[in-house]
Structure 1
Amino acid sequence: MVLQNLEKYQLILASKSPRRKRLLEELGLDFKVQVSDVKEYFPPELGMTAIPEYLAELKGTAIRKQMPDNCLVIAADTIVWKDEEVIGKPATKQEAIALLKHLSGSQHQVITGVNIQSVRQKYSFHAVTEVWFDELSDDEIEYYVERCKPYDKAGGYGIQEWIGFVGVQKIEGSFFNVMGLPVHKVYQFLKLF
């Protein structure tokens, strides 16, 4: 393990996201997944970057309280932000189509808040990535939603899927942040433990 300072910890990923799991595996970390069942609520006065940090800390703290003292919990939450509001996860095919029509031909931000905590230390941080979508046809949107069923994804899309290949014109910032975890920042903060 490159991060030998972590050998004294049992690492826990507080997320059911298969993308976050895969990204941490690619870092070469040995960890377990423990999903929090906290209600994802945030105070309405929170701003764009504060929302995902708040939710990540909520999830991380819920898991941290259940674990022994040698655990290090990594929690994250990703939101899509457009026109001063959160674009959530679609519950239905119709919602997914409507969200993608809203994002089509425009720019939005993807913000991931991360919380890493042990019994003695806690860090919260975020990453913002600007994403520009080309104009997408109704057929392209329906094809993507039918094929990939993006109901577990903020904004109703995964950049690593078909729609990312054909619809994302450009990004500024971390690609992995759009997938759900700004791995470069996570790595830097893990060095502090």
Structure 2
Amino acid sequence: MQHLVLASSSPRRKELLTNLGISFEVSSSSIEEIVDPTLSPEKVVMTLAEQKALDVARRYPHAYVVGADTIVTKDSILLGKPRDEQDAFRMLQSLSGQTHSVLTGVTIVYNGKANSFYVETEVTFWPLSEVDIYSYIQSGEPLDKAGSYGIQGLGSLFVREIKGDYFSVVGLPLSRLVRELKQFGFQC
């Protein structure tokens, strides 16, 4: 029997995978996320996904293990999770009325082999007032999300346009993931 393990504690990733009707287990990675500032955003997101997947694959050597990581970039600057409310305000203000990129890297590990890929989606925000931003920060939603917003929640009110995979912005590019799993021999 095939065994799939999601190497993530993200409730959003768990919900997305659950909606596909695929049986899986969740096992969080314990790696410390360290980003090499000399790497491109694409390499950063795939490296983090790979580190997570390989960490969990050590505990599940006969399973298909999926690791993922999502980052937001604006003008080649990585916007991770905000340190505090002031940092969230700064990030959201920089995204106001602008287009930015959301990259989700995914690594699948099975039988000692790893395959990594990323999906990039462009997101354009409406112009945001300080009141919009402060109200959103008070909701608490942006404080644990890359780029300080969640497209699947109240942050959706800021989005004017999206070009690419919506689910990648949420945290897991489902259609690409299923295709990649099938190439590894997983029956979805």
With structure 2 as the length reference, what TM-score do the two structures score? Answer: 0.94
Alignment of 1:97-176 (within 5 A): 97-164=89-156, 166-176=157-167
Structure 2 gap segments, 5+ residues each: none
1:19 to 12, 16, 20: 12
The separation in 2 between residues aligned to 1:48 and 1:186, in whole angstroms, is 20
The separation in 1 between residues aligned to 2:21 and 2:139, in whole angstroms, is 31
Once the two structures are TM-superposed, the CA of residue 70 in structure 1 deviates from its matched residue by: 2.1
The separation in 1 between residues aligned to 2:31 and 2:40, in whole angstroms, is 21
Query: Which deviations, in whole Å up to 9, do the C-alpha atoms of 1:48-73 show, x marking residues without a partner?
Result: 21110010001110111122x32111
The separation in 2 between residues aligned to 1:178 and 1:30, in whole angstroms, is 23
Report the counterpart of residue 62 of structure 2 in structure 1. 70
| One-letter amino acid of the counterpart of residue 57, structure 1 | E
Report the counterpart of residue 60 of structure 1 in structure 2. 53
Find the residue that maps to 1:177 and give its secondary structure.
Answer: helix
| One-letter amino acid of the counterpart of residue 187, structure 1 | V
1:81 to 66, 73, 83: 73
1:40 and 2:33 are equivalent in the alignment: yes
With structure 1 as the length reference, what TM-score do the two structures score? Answer: 0.91
| One-letter amino acid of the counterpart of residue 71, structure 1 | A
1:190 and 2:143 are equivalent in the alignment: no
Once the two structures are TM-superposed, the CA of residue 39 in structure 1 deviates from its matched residue by: 1.1
Report the counterpart of residue 5 of structure 1 in structure 2. none
Once the two structures are TM-superposed, the CA of residue 120 in structure 1 deviates from its matched residue by: 4.0
The separation in 2 between residues aligned to 1:55 and 1:18, in whole angstroms, is 18
1:179 and 2:170 are equivalent in the alignment: yes
Identity percentage of aligned residues: 41
Find the residue that maps to 1:28 and give its secondary structure.
Answer: coil
Once the two structures are TM-superposed, the CA of residue 91 in structure 1 deviates from its matched residue by: 2.3
| One-letter amino acid of the counterpart of residue 149, structure 2 | Y
Task: From the superposition, tell whether residues 163 and 42 of structure 1 become closer, same or farther in structure 2 (CA, over 3 Å).
Answer: closer
The separation in 1 between residues aligned to 2:117 and 2:94, in whole angstroms, is 28
| One-letter amino acid of the counterpart of residue 35, structure 2 | F
Find the residue that maps to 2:28 and give its secondary structure.
Answer: coil
Structure 1 gap segments, 5+ residues each: 1-7
Whether the 8 Å contact between 1:148 and 1:161 is mirrored in structure 2 is no
How many residues in Structure 1 have an aligned counterpart in Structure 2?
184
Once the two structures are TM-superposed, the CA of residue 151 in structure 1 deviates from its matched residue by: 1.7
The separation in 2 between residues aligned to 1:12 and 1:24, in whole angstroms, is 11
